[in-house]
Amino acid sequence: MPAGRRRTWEPLAVGLGAVVLAVAISVAVGSRTLGPGEVLSGVEALLRGGTTDPAAAIVAARVDRTVVGAVVGLAVALSGAAMQGLTRNPLADPGILGVNAGAALGVVLGIQLLGVGSAAAFGWLALGGGVVAAVVVYAVSAAAPGGPAPLTMALAGAALTAGAVSVVAGLLISDRSALDTFRFWQVGSVAGRPVGLVLDVLPLLVVSLLVVALSGPVLNATALGDDLERALGQRVHLARGVVALGAVGLAAGAVALAGPVGFVGLVVPHLVRLVTGPDYRRILLGSAIVGPVLVLLTDTLGRIVMPPSEIQVGLMTAVLGAPGLIWLVRRTAVR
Amino acid sequence: MSVDVAPGRVVDRVEQVRSSRRRAGRRGQLVLGGLLAAWLVAMVVRTLLGDFTITVPDFWRIVLGTGEVPGGAEFILLESKLPRAVVGTLAGMALGASGATFQLMARNPLASPDVLGLTMGASAAAVFTLVVLGGSGAAVTVAALVGAALVAVALLTLSASRPGAAPTRMILVGIALSAMLTSVVHWVLLRADVYRAHEAMVWLTGSLNGVTWRQIGLLAVVVALALPLLLATARELHLVELGDDVAAGVGAPPGLVRARALLLVVLLVAATTSVCGPIAFVAFLSGPIARRLLGGRASIAAAALVGSVIVVLADHAGAYAIPDVNLPVGVVTGLVGAPFLLWLLTRERAS
């Protein structure tokens, strides 16, 4: 079927091209924009191990944040897609469902009460907090009259976020230096995060990524509804639980890496769905491509929109993504 | 459906309705009286008890200025305890009444000014004015007013509905606007120096600490003007709740009533937020609690009293519940309010 194949391959090729372009832009553009020649000579100097070249220093810093940005974009976009599929809720997103807030609370509790200081542990703390948040939000919405409707889930997520903010404020309010650190940490940012941090969170991210990447059939079955799904013989609850854990793991890894980056997980799957249609295997693949592109481009935009200072990527995604949520709410007849 | 009943039984029914209304009225008075007493108790607890106990005779001596009281009691009472109790009362009344009004208009307990992002709009504008523009005092209040009003307008236009209709869409738009405004606040905090940022972060949790008598005077004027008007509007809102046609028929044009209520709520929320920051969930909590106390009837006045009791007691708990830890009132109401909202979601239909 040549037509069908073309429909698959053309967007995929365009998407991969966009990834390459976004990476190039992210390395080249910033408060001091480098020309293609400078980028190449900088990369070459880096590979040779030289750091005397000023362009090489800039390239080195930008390569780091590009890697972190791409990983975060991949993780949150896939997490959002899986959450939307699992909950059959078009408004699901790690930020809206309170998972980001739970993950952040987990890290703060670990630092303040347990005295944890290693970045590798942050990922697991974030996972613990995120899982608790996801379970609470889902349990509350499932217990609500009328079942887990999008509005109920969004409200439960908002309540959980507000409660987490209160706990964090209560823990940090008397500690000026902790509060000073936290005001930077509560904003999602890919700048100044060394690539080594990615390695610390890598085990969590890789396992979660594998689970979510293979979850297409489960999500497709979920989309059909509980009855049909059972009739088709899918082991519903176990499979869904594992996928949910994977989705939370991706979100938690991203929070440990960069802090909360909201709305990417909400918007990306919807954009992808416009091209791929409802098949979750394609939505996941598309989200894995569009997520990094979106985060890298947003981060780059944040560098040049208000020179000489930067606007962190987490702030940019919220300001650009919230209109996306409003658009979704107006477009779909959300109950 | 036609109702066929014998004449004698009609009298019975009338008597039944009359007595049940009388009972509800009596219950209403009882609840209002009880809430007033609860508020008095809260005030006494807040002003006299705590780490530093002040006796009743000393209290009058200090307030009336009829005698010297040793040991710094005068300073602690007049500069800390009394202003916090008074501003807590005013803030609680304003937030409680505002929340209950919105909930009545939307016929939805979840549509309160804090859930809808009005409070966040006031906060973002106030913090921006404070930190970036370097304003203070009246400028911050005006900014908060503008911020809350802009959010209200955005809510109405973006959810394409009049106040009171389509609460689902409006709540979701409110959540989106809140997220956006939160990132504005975070951005402002990043630009501030350490001390300004710390000050702003304490304020953002909702705190009665360090409120001056001048600010209290300002808030008192706003509450004294707006609250009676809101209570008067509430009578018409109850009519609007019966249906737009009924309301229009008895001379309460629904659009006008809703617009007036919205304006008063924006004013109260903005004034309160500009003085003590966004105190989490008080606007949301007060209405449902008052409704439960009244056996299902909505009352703005009762909600206002519930709000003041909550804020004054939460402030006391935050200050003294954990030794050596001084929590802002907003942390306490946030810790209580979040589980309550989650619980309410399991009990009532959100849409």
Whether A231 shows a pLDDT value over 80: the answer reads no
| pLDDT for res B81 | 82
Q: What is the pLDDT along chain B (351 residues), one digit of tens a residue?
A: 445 555 556 667 777 777 777 777 778 888 888 889 988 888 888 887 877 777 777 777 777 777 776 777 777 777 778 888 999 999 999 999 999 998 888 777 778 888 888 999 999 999 998 888 887 777 888 898 999 999 988 888 887 655 444 567 888 888 889 889 988 998 898 888 888 888 888 888 888 888 888 889 989 999 999 999 999 888 888 777 676 667 667 766 777 888 888 889 999 999 999 888 898 889 888 988 888 888 878 888 999 999 999 999 999 998 888 877 788 898 999 998 899 888 888 887 655
Residue A234 confidence (pLDDT): 57
Q: Is A144 on the interface with B (CB under 8 A)?
A: yes
User: Does B228 reside within a domain?
Assistant: yes
- Sign of the Cα torsion A103, A105, A106, A112 reads positive
SS (H, E, C) B11-80: HHHHHHHHHHHHHHHHHHHHHHHHHHHHHHHHHHHHHHCCCCCCCHHHHHHHHHCCCCCCCCHHHHHHHH
Residue of B271 and A58 predicted with greater confidence:
B271
Return the structure tokens found at B76.
């602690």
**Number of domains within chain B:** 1
**Domain assignment of residue B251, yes or no:** yes
pTM: 0.82
Instruction: Return contacts of A3-6, CB within 8 angstroms, 24+ apart.
Output: none
By Cβ distance, the residue of B182, B198, B335 closest to A167 is: B335
Do B265 and B98 contact (CB within 8 A), yes or no? yes
CA–CA gap between residue A252 and residue A101 (Å, rounded): 10
When CB atoms are compared, the residue of A151, A174, A321 closest to B326 is A174
Does residue B130 fall inside a structural domain?
yes
| C-alpha span between B111 and B182 (Å, rounded) | 19
| Least confident stretch, A147-156, A195-204, A231-240, B158-167 | B158-167
Residue A303 to residue A26: CA distance in whole angstroms? 10
- In angstroms, the separation between the Cα of residue A71 and the nearest Cα of chain B is 22
Nearest to B346 among A143, A179, A315 (CB): A143
Q: Which residues, 6 or more positions from B35, have their beta carbon under 8 angstroms from its beta carbon? A: B290, B293, B302, B305, B306, B309
Section A128-155 average pLDDT: 86
Do the domain assignments include residue B230?
yes
Check if A140 contacts B (Cβ < 8 Å).
yes
CA dist., res. A332 & res. A335, Å (int): 9
Q: Are A114 and A300 in contact (CB under 8 A)?
A: no
Contact A315 B158 (CB under 8 A): no
The domains located in chain A, with CATH, are: 66-331 (1.10.3470.10)
How high is the pLDDT of residue B166?
59
Which residue, among B180, B204, B207, B326, would best test binding to A if mutated, counting the most A CBs under 10 Å from its CB?
B180
- Report chain A's terminal Cα–Cα distance, integer Å: 39
The pLDDT value given to residue B299: 86
Residue B273 lies in a domain: yes
Does residue B21 belong to any structural domain of this protein? no
Q: Rounded to an integer, what distance in angstroms lies between the CA atom of residue B309 and that of residue B146?
A: 28
Tell me if B91 sits within 8 A of B279, measured CB to CB: yes
- Averaged pLDDT, A160-182: 83
- What's the distance, Cα to Cα, between the start and end of chain B in Å? 29
Residue B81 is given by DSSP the state I
CA–CA separation, B247 vs B242, rounded Å? 7
Contact A65, A190 (CB under 8 A): yes
Q: Which residue has the tokens 């830890």?
A: B325
A 81-100 residues inside an 8 A Cβ radius of B:
91, 95-96
Tokens of B19: 């007595």
Q: Which of residues 262-301 of A touch B (CB under 8 A)?
A: 262-263
- Percent of chain A surpassing pLDDT 90: 19
Q: Given this model, what pLDDT does residue B322 score?
A: 81
Task: Single out the residue of A83, A2, A23, A14 nearest to residue A268, CA to CA.
Answer: A83
The C-alpha atoms of residue B107 and residue B102 are separated, in whole angstroms, by 8
In this prediction, residue A292 carries a pLDDT of 95
* C-beta of residue B201 within 8 angstroms of C-beta of residue B296: no
- Closest Cβ opposite residue A183 in set B178, B197, B339: B197
Helix pair angle (B7-48, B56-64), 10° resolution: 80
Nearest residue in chain B measured CA to CA from A179 = B198
B158 neighbors A323 (Cβ within 8 angstroms): no
Confidence tier at A294 by pLDDT (50, 70, 90): very high
Q: Which of residues 304-333 of A touch B (CB under 8 A)?
A: 309, 311-312, 314-315, 318-319, 321-323, 325-326, 329-330
Identify which of B46, B110, B100, B22 has the alpha carbon closest to the alpha carbon of residue B265. Answer: B100
Tokens of B4: 């066929």
C-beta atoms of A184 and B351 within 8 A:
no
Q: Name the residue facing A149 among B330, B339, B350 (closest C-beta).
A: B350
B102, B64 Cβ separation under 8 angstroms: no
> Are the Cβ atoms of A174 and B325 closer than 8 angstroms?
yes
Q: How close does chain B come to A307, measured CA to CA in Å?
A: 14
**Cβ-defined contact of B334 to A318 (cutoff 8 Å):** no
Segment A205-228 shows an average pLDDT of 85
Report the distance separating Cα A59 and Cα B131, nearest Å: 34
CATH code: domain of residue B241: 1.10.3470.10
Question: B182, A176: Cβ pair inside 8 Å?
Answer: no
Q: Which range is least confidently modeled, A172-186, A282-296, B184-198, B239-253?
A: B239-253
Name residues whose C-beta falls within 8 Å of residue B283's C-beta, 6 or more positions apart in sequence.
B95, B96, B98, B99, B102, B112, B113, B114, B119, B269, B307
**Residue A11 sits at the chain B interface (C-beta within 8 Å):** no
- If you search the block for the tokens 């039984």, which residue do you land on? B9
Do B303 and B311 form a contact (C-beta atoms < 8 A)?
A: no
For residue A134, the SS3 value is: helix
Q: Does some domain include residue B309?
A: yes
Tell me whether A40 touches chain B (CB under 8 Å). Answer: no
Neighbours of A305 (CB within 10 A): 11
Q: Which residues on chain B are in Cβ contact (under 8 Å) with A133?
A: none
Q: What is the pLDDT of residues A80-122, one digit of tens each?
A: 999 999 888 888 889 889 998 998 899 888 888 887 777 678 7
- For residue A18, with 0-12 CB atoms within 10 Å meaning exposed, 13-18 middle and 19 or more buried, which class applies? middle
Burial class (CB in 10 A: 0-12, 13-18, 19+), A52: exposed
Q: Please name the residue of chain A whose CA is at the shortest distance from the CA of residue B342.
A: A156
The DSSP 8-state label assigned to residue B308 in this structure reads H
Residues of A in Cβ contact (< 8 Å) with B347: 145
CA distance A47 to chain B (A): 35
Domain annotation covers residue B56 = yes
Instruction: Give the distance from residue A115's alpha carbon to the nearest chain B alpha carbon, in angstroms.
Output: 19
The confidence band for A7, taking pLDDT boundaries of 50, 70 and 90, is: low
Interface test with B, best of A136, A155, A171, A186 (most B CBs within 10 A): A155
Indicate the residue of B198, B325, B348 with minimum beta-carbon distance to A179: B198
pLDDT of residue B310: 94
What is d(CA B69, CA B77) in angstroms, rounded to the nearest whole number? 11
Q: ∠ CA B83-B85-B90 to the nearest 5 degrees?
A: 90
Do residues B178 and B121 make contact, with C-beta atoms less than 8 angstroms apart? no
State which residues form the domain around B312: 32-65+84-347
Place of tokens 């970045």: A119
